[in-house]
Amino acid sequence: MKLSERIQEQRKEAGKTQQEMADFLGVKIRVYQYYESGGRKPTLDNLIVLADFFDVSLDYLVGRSDHRERM
């Protein structure tokens, strides 16, 4: 699964809107929408924030693993 798909999947599981996630990350809504569409990738700092927020590993978030657990 791609990073963009994982971000969208995790956001929906958390019951958050795109606007809420954009506000949380401190980015504009369009930037966050690009994250979910694959048109743009989050910075490393934002990837870490997202992984922490969703309580998943970075490897899971970026699609390198199917195991959510953080080590």
Q: Which residues of the chain have pLDDT under 70?
A: 70-71
Residue extents of the structural domains in the chain: 3-61
The topology (CATH level 3) of 3-61 is: 434 Repressor (Amino-terminal Domain) (1.10.260)
pTM of the entire predicted model: 0.89
Per-residue pLDDT of 23-43, as tens digits, reads: 999 999 999 999 999 999 999
The pLDDT value given to residue 71: 67
Write the secondary structure of the chain as one string of H (helix), E (strand) and C (coil).
CCHHHHHHHHHHHHCCCHHHHHHHHCCCHHHHHHHHHCCCCCCHHHHHHHHHHHCCCHHHHCCCCCCCCCC
The pLDDT value given to residue 22: 98
